[in-house]
Chains A and B, each alone.
Chain A
């Protein structure tokens, strides 16, 4: 994965919690973008196979995550990262 940096200013560095770990991300980038920087694999399917994001436009649901503590299920490709977010992929 590669965040391009040439001539680009991103938002400020913030931390979110992803599966219990503190992760540095840029404010405003999508949760999916932040997750993909960690690994292209997001979950295991019912056959135990690794799976990642597919469509990146809110259609496929492959990047669905849970926001804590409220438990909302959201598509990570549609939701901007904000300070204090606690995200779990389970």
Chain B
């Protein structure tokens, strides 16, 4: 027996929560599926229910998101399926969408009249010599350890990259009692300032969003944490684990590294459905194209949040509201005119947040600062494919062809880490990247056979 819903939402972050609440208000039967046990997304990655953490995410930056999360969790009429991955999405002959979902207990199917993909983003994986040493994490992963597990993965941590978020993460680490050795920005301070000033008019209405970075800098100063600019990380050293980082101005001893070059959309499900995509911002990755109601090029398949291009949690929240009303109108639960009235403020809010996101993209642009690869630097972490194996076979080939020749992209992450690097090396703006195939996450063949 397959469970059926009016709407299935993939992703329980701000976009998914906002859409689900809107759809539930409109009396549509809605399910939200997420890989995490609890809702929140990465921005509010929740601690286990057995933990008590006074003051969790109480910084006022997060207040609207925490309020949304509490409302979502209190709404028992929304069906929540946590700890499940959506590994397949297809359209049935009767027009319904069929989703294959999986957990350690096996696979099952659900169907839905409409689907909203709000699957978030991941850190852009940037290869450099030594980046596969234990103790090197994506900065977002390091932050999630702190937020949800209350673990600081080192006593002398270095954050390095181009994205200003690393200031916030460093500040959160030291405020929690962790030790941060340094924050290294690849770009000169002047580059960041200039981008800020050039865009100050369009960012003016969102200055408050920039305040957390200013406060983070003050926190780091108070704790004596070095923040270096024009100090691109070049290599990470160590034998069995991280011991130091080399940057253009010297070496810093450390026991953990967080790499912070920006974020790319999770795109496997829309690509599996052949929705129209665009190359996303300077960090790379693929954003799903959509109309003013967040409907993708596939009728009935909606997208919201970072799936449409990385723009932050508040923009995700706004787009989730828009998608909720868009789906509600398409299913006849609200008139199109009334829906348009209700989304007007969310659209205005999203537009202004997108302007700020573009400014942040410009400040954090990693392109001039990607570290040089050595022959033995692994580009594909899953299949241990080094740059020396990839470099000689690039000429005239597509990403798919390089994958077949080298196994780059064939491993457990299914190319999520190496695809942006490979596309950068190929430098062909028309390359569509790896073909997205079922299953979107690795799954035992025994589960598929039953």
Q: Which residues of A contact B (CB under 8 A)?
A: 1-4, 6-12, 26-30, 33, 36-37, 39-42, 45-47, 49-62, 64, 67, 70-74, 77-80
CB neighbours (8 Å) of A27 from chain B are 48, 50
Interface centre among A6, A52, A55, A59 (most CB of B within 10 A): A59
Closest 5 CB pairs of A and B: A61-B412, A11-B50, A28-B48, A52-B134, A56-B141
Q: Which of B67-89 contact A (CB under 8 A)?
A: 83, 85
- Residue of A whose beta carbon sits closest to that of B146: A4
Q: Report if A3-B150 is in contact (Cβ < 8 Å); known contacts: A45-B132, A52-B135, A74-B104.
A: yes
CB distance from B160 to the nearest CB of A (A): 15
A70 to B141: give the CA distance in the assembly, Å: 28
| Size bin of chain B's contact surface | 35 or more
Residues 173-194 of B, flagged 1 when their CB comes within 8 A of A and 0 if not, give 0001110000000000000000
Q: When A9-B51, A29-B48 are in contact, do A39 and B141 touch as well, CB less than 8 Å?
A: no
Could you tell me the distance in whole angstroms from the C-beta of A61 to the nearest C-beta in chain B? 3
Cα distance, A9 to B403, chains bound together (Å): 47
Closest beta carbon of chain A to B101's beta carbon, Å = 14
Give residues of chain B (18-75) contacting chain A, Cβ–Cβ below 8 Å. 35-37, 42, 45, 48-55
Across the interface, do A1 and B417 meet the contact criterion of CB distance under 8 Å?
no
Give Cα A12–Cα B144 distance, bound, in whole angstroms: 21
Q: Does B249 lie at the interface of the complex (its beta carbon under 8 Å from any beta carbon of A)?
A: no
From A39, which residue of chain B is reached at the shortest CB distance? Answer: B134
B151 touches A4 (CB 8 A): yes
6 contacts between A and B (CB under 8 A): A2-B155, A10-B50, A33-B151, A56-B141, A72-B104, A74-B104
From B53, B132, B150, B151, contact of A49 by CB (8 A): B132
For the complex with contacts A2-B177, A30-B148, 6 further pairs of A-B residues with Cβ separation under 8 Å are A4-B150, A4-B152, A4-B176, A27-B48, A50-B239, A54-B137
Query: Given the interface contacts A6-B177, A28-B51, A80-B48, does A57 sit within 8 Å of B151 by beta carbon?
Result: no
How far apart are B352's CB and chain A's nearest CB, in angstroms? 28
The answer to whether B308 has its CB under 8 Å from any CB of chain A is: no
Given contacts A9-B52, A56-B141, contact A36 B153 (CB under 8 A): yes
B412 lies within 8 A of A80 (CB): no
Residue contact A29 to B153, C-beta cutoff 8 Å: no
Query: Taking the nearest CB of chain B, how far is it from the CB of A27, in angstroms?
Result: 5
Q: Majority SS of interface residues in chain B?
A: loop
Q: Is the CB of B178 within 8 A of A2?
A: yes
A67 to B50, CA, bound (A): 22
Say yes or no: A50 contacts B150, CB within 8 Å. no
CB pair B177 A80 closer than 8 Å: no
**Closest residue of B by beta carbon distance from A61:** B412
Which of B55, B141, B413 lies at the interface centre, i.e. has the most chain A CB atoms within 10 A of its CB?
Answer: B141
Contacts of B296 in A (CB 8 A): none
B431 to chain A, nearest CB (A): 22
CB-contact partner of B413 in A9, A37, A40, A59, under 8 A: A59
0/1 interface trace, chain B 432-450, chain A, CB 8 Å (1 if under): 0000000001101000000
Does B115 lie at the interface of the complex (its beta carbon under 8 Å from any beta carbon of A)?
A: no
Q: Is B384 an interface residue (CB 8 A)?
A: yes
- CA–CA, A45 and B133, complex, Å: 11
Would you call B277 an interface residue if the criterion is a C-beta within 8 Å of the partner chain's C-beta atoms? no
Decide if B247 is an interface residue (CB 8 Å cutoff). Answer: no
